[in-house]
Amino acid sequence: MSARKLYLDRAIGETRGVVTLDGAPERLLIVRDGDGPLTQLGARLVGRVRKVEPAFASAFIDLGGVEALMAFKPDARPVEGQAIEVEIRSEPRDGKLATVRLIGPAEGKPRLLTAAPDIAEQLSFLARDTPIIEGRQARAMADAAEAEALETIHPLPGGGDLAIEPTRALVAIDVDVGERKGQDVKRVTRQANHTALAESARLLRLKGLGGIVVIDLVGRGHDGNALLTAARTAFSPDNPGVAIGPVGRFGTMEMTVPRRGRALRDILGDGAGGLSDLTLALRLIRRLEAAAASDPGGRLIATCAPSVAQAAKPYGETLAARIGARFVIETNPDWPRDRLDVR
């Protein structure tokens, strides 16, 4: 039976929660200071129907400064200007609006009624009756989960690897048997495909990816029923909403997986393939905090690119209040943005 553990890292500027599955990171939840509460998953609000699009069976809902999209059935078409209570069912991503589900009629102006569950509550929901680990162990696990979530190619237990690459239309997963050992080719490919399905499910949850997923399996002459059973088991934690198709004639398996939270790349990235200044700044602050803990009386010098130093400034003030003003953050305009040094 698979075992899950929970970790909670309360850092300056952000809180990170990790769920591990048999020791490997399965989910990484991140909430940063300043994140808007109106479109966080699970928040309940009063919204106002701004515009109804009957052709798409959708309505645009004003949540009070931000907009969301709500699907409706033909016999439950909302009225423009109507106040309704809604719940965020998926967060905004890739320039697309958040989506909401209708709770019922409401009164008054658009406003937040109930904030989304915090990360500790979300972790407890994902693995009930499991203690939450905090402190240094949680920080190390959060750092490891973040690093794995940002990778493209992932090794498979027993040999081989899989590559996960999201596009605008779908998420493509390529399975490679690599140097996997064994004389029986069919047995080797069967084991690789079953392992790849389990790892694909875990990594998609870790990365926060979903939508249409296409997995390019290895080998030929697949046992379609066995693979379908393995896929249903692997993706069962993502229900409701998972739909899995049979293995196609070209050896691919297609499925749809619900997207509820933001993709980790959207949270950590700058939109151009790199990490954002904020992500790098928070890493720098964590390194300074760790260095201060290991050298209680020492003075510290951090060096980074100017844009990262600017993003780190408010968090540096918070750190100084904790450990004292015994560090400085210097800039080097010739350094790449992802180079961070603490000494």
CATH, residue 99? 2.40.50.140
Which of the listed residues 264, 291, 308 is the one where a domain comes to its end?
264
Cα–Cα distance measured from residue 293 to residue 134, given in angstroms and rounded to the nearest whole number: 16
Length of the chain: 343
Q: Do 102 and 125 belong to one domain?
A: no
Q: Do 158 and 244 belong to one domain?
A: yes
Cα–Cα distance measured from residue 301 to residue 312, given in angstroms and rounded to the nearest whole number: 14
Q: Do 227 and 279 belong to one domain?
A: no
β-sheet bridge partners, residue 10:
15
pTM of the model: 0.92
List average pLDDT for each run of 10 residues in the chain, which is 343 residues long.
89 98 97 94 97 96 96 93 97 90 97 97 95 97 98 94 95 89 78 96 97 94 93 96 95 95 94 94 97 94 98 97 95 97 97
Question: What angle, 0 to 180 degrees and rounded to 10, lies between the N-to-C axes of helices 185-207 and 136-150?
Answer: 110
- Which residue in the block uniquely carries the two structure tokens 């979903």? 210
Q: State the pLDDT at residue 33.
A: 94
Domains contained in the chain, number: 4
Q: State the pLDDT at residue 182.
A: 63
Q: Is residue 194 part of a domain?
A: yes
The secondary structure element, H or E, covering residue 21 is strand 14-21
Q: Is residue 270 part of a domain?
A: no
Q: Do 209 and 303 belong to one domain?
A: no
Q: Domain range spanning residue 161?
A: 151-264
State whether residue 30 is helix, strand or coil: strand
- Which residue in the block uniquely carries the two structure tokens 């997207």? 259
Q: Is residue 156 part of a domain?
A: yes
The secondary structure element, H or E, covering residue 29 is strand 24-32
Q: State the pLDDT at residue 12.
A: 97
Q: State the pLDDT at residue 181.
A: 64
Q: Is residue 11 part of a domain?
A: yes
Q: Is residue 287 part of a domain?
A: yes
Q: Do 63 and 8 belong to one domain?
A: no
Q: Is residue 127 part of a domain?
A: yes
